[in-house]
Amino acid sequence: MKAGNPPTDHGGSMPTIDILLPGFAIDTDQGYPAFCGVFLVRGPDAAGRHRNILVDAAHVGRRPFLWNALAAHGLDAEDIDTVVLTHAHWDHVQNIDLFPQATLVLHPDERRYAHTPHANDWATPAWTGLLLEQLPVREVTDGEEIIPGVDVIGLPGHSPGSIGVVVQTERGRATITGDALHFAYVALTKRNPLVFWDADQAARSIERVLTVSDVVYPGHDRPFRLTSDAGIDYLEPFALTLTGLRPDTLGLRFADASSRPLWVMPGVKEQSKLYEKNADDIQRRINRVPKVVRPVPREAGPEKG
Looking at residues 32 to 71 of the shown chain, list those that interact with a copy of itself (rule: CB under 8 A).
Answer: 32-35, 58-65, 67
Minimum CB–partner distance for residue 106 and a copy of itself (Å): 16
Minimum Å gap between C-beta 142 and a copy of itself is 28
* Between 95 and 205, CB nearer to a copy of itself: 95
Kindly state whether residue 275 participates in binding a copy of itself, applying the rule CB under 8 A: no
CB of 286 to a copy of itself, least distance (A): 10
Partner residues linked to 54 by β-bridges: 40, 83
> Phi and psi of 164, rounded to 5°?
-120, 170
C-beta separation of 112 from 277 below 8 A = no
Site for a copy of itself in 116-135 (CB under 8 A): 118-120, 122-123, 125-127, 129-131, 134
Rg (CA), the chain: 19
What's the closest the beta carbon of residue 143 comes to a copy of itself, in angstroms? 31
Give the nearer residue to a copy of itself in terms of CB position, either 31 or 136.
31
d(CA 169, CA 129): 33
Q: Tell whether residue 72 is a contact of a copy of itself (CB under 8 A).
A: no
Q: By CB under 8 A, is residue 87 in contact with a copy of itself?
A: no
Choose the binding region for a copy of itself from 9-17, 198-206, 211-219, 283-291 (rule: CB under 8 A): 283-291
Judged by DSSP in three states, 39 sits in strand
Q: How far is the CB of 95 from a copy of itself (least distance, A)?
A: 8
Q: Which of 21, 85, 104, 187 binds a copy of itself (CB under 8 A)?
A: 21
C-alpha distances in Å from residue 269, one per residue of 118, 157, 199, 280: 11, 13, 11, 19
- Evaluate whether 165 touches 180 at the Cβ level (below 8 Å): no
Q: Using the rule CB under 8 A, is 7 a contact of a copy of itself?
A: no
CB atoms within 10 A of CB 236: 12
Instruction: Give the whole-angstrom CA distance, residue 302 versus residue 113.
Output: 35
Residue 273: which region, alpha, beta or left (left: phi > 0; alpha: psi -120 to 50)?
alpha
Question: Which range binds a copy of itself by CB under 8 A, 3-11, 151-159, 198-206, 295-303?
Answer: 295-303
DSSP-derived 3-state class of residue 137: strand
3-state SS, residue 51 = strand
Q: Is 234 near a copy of itself (CB under 8 A)? A: no
Give the Cα separation of 192 and 189 in Å (integer): 8
Binder of a copy of itself out of 10, 24, 103, 139 (CB under 8 A): 24
Q: Is 292 in the site for a copy of itself (CB under 8 A)?
A: yes
> Which one of residues 48, 200, 254, 273 is an interface residue with a copy of itself (CB under 8 A)?
254
Nearer to a copy of itself, 47 or 245 (CB): 245
Binds a copy of itself (CB under 8 A): choice among 94, 169, 175, 271: 94
Q: How many CB atoms lie within 10 A of CB 289?
A: 14
